[in-house]
Amino acid sequence: MKVETTSGSVARPRRTQAERSQETREKVCEATLQALLEVGYEQISTTLIARRARVSRGALTHQFPTRNDMLVAAFEKLIGEWRDGYPFGLDPAKDQLSVDELIDALWTNIFSDGRYIAAMELMLAARQDNELGHVLRDILVTWIRKRDRITVQLVGGNPDDAEADLKVQLHLSVLRGIAMHQSFDADPKTASQLIDLWKRIASKI
């Protein structure tokens, strides 16, 4: 509801506490992902992220009491975007993609995003035998199961077919490698050239 001031201008209604909390969480999660991309996992601290997110450290720690809470929330945010977005948000019972379309969709919406490197930082952290590693692994296992089944189905395959699953793993592995290469290649054209080459190779598999 809009509120009219005494001067006749229209003022925005005051945000609720829940809306302010959600805005803080979004800003902190996005700042965490960007920091993972730019400085890496080992350099992340709540103080650094509070500064990057332009929120007070008190506001940050109210939402995320520990560094691990902040990292997990950022990872869950990114996984959620992948899960609900294109192409994984499609219904394979209604929507089918060619292999070329699948490769383009995965590259454009996931692997070419710089935040994928941030995800890689957390995936590597998931290997650690500690509290954070265990939580991140649980998130990854749940996501990977859904991702792999729907990817096979989107190209008309049977998710219980071991060879179809292997082909999906090959696509994902190649795209992951190109994403890593893109992170340090000074030529922005290389990635698209590699994607085009992979699509030509994949058509023969």
* Per-residue confidence band for 177, with pLDDT thresholds at 50, 70 and 90: very high
Residue 185 carries which DSSP code? -
For the chain, the average pLDDT equals 91
* Per-residue confidence band for 19, with pLDDT thresholds at 50, 70 and 90: confident
Q: What is the pLDDT of residue 188?
A: 81
* CA-closest candidate to residue 119, choices 69, 182, 170, 180: 180
Q: Report pLDDT digits (tens) over 134-161.
A: 999 999 999 999 999 999 999 999 989 9
C-alpha–C-alpha distance, residues 10 and 199, integer Å: 54
Domains and CATH numbers, the chain: 3-202 (1.10.357.10)
Any idea what the Cα angle at residue 55 is, between residues 50 and 60, rounded to 5°? 60
Q: Report pLDDT digits (tens) over 195-204.
A: 999 999 998 8
* Per-residue confidence band for 17, with pLDDT thresholds at 50, 70 and 90: confident
Q: Calculate what percentage of the chain has a pLDDT beyond 90.
A: 83
Around Cβ 73, how many Cβ atoms within 10 Å? 17
Please list, in sequence order, all residues whose beta carbon lies within 8 angstroms of the beta carbon of residue 164, skipping any fewer than 6 positions away.
152, 157, 158
Q: Report pLDDT digits (tens) over 97-132.
A: 999 999 999 999 999 998 999 999 999 999 998 999
Confirm if 118 and 34 have CB atoms less than 8 A apart: yes
Confirm if 59 and 47 have CB atoms less than 8 A apart: no
Largest CA distance in the chain: 71
Q: What is the pLDDT of residue 136?
A: 94
* Per-residue confidence band for 5, with pLDDT thresholds at 50, 70 and 90: low
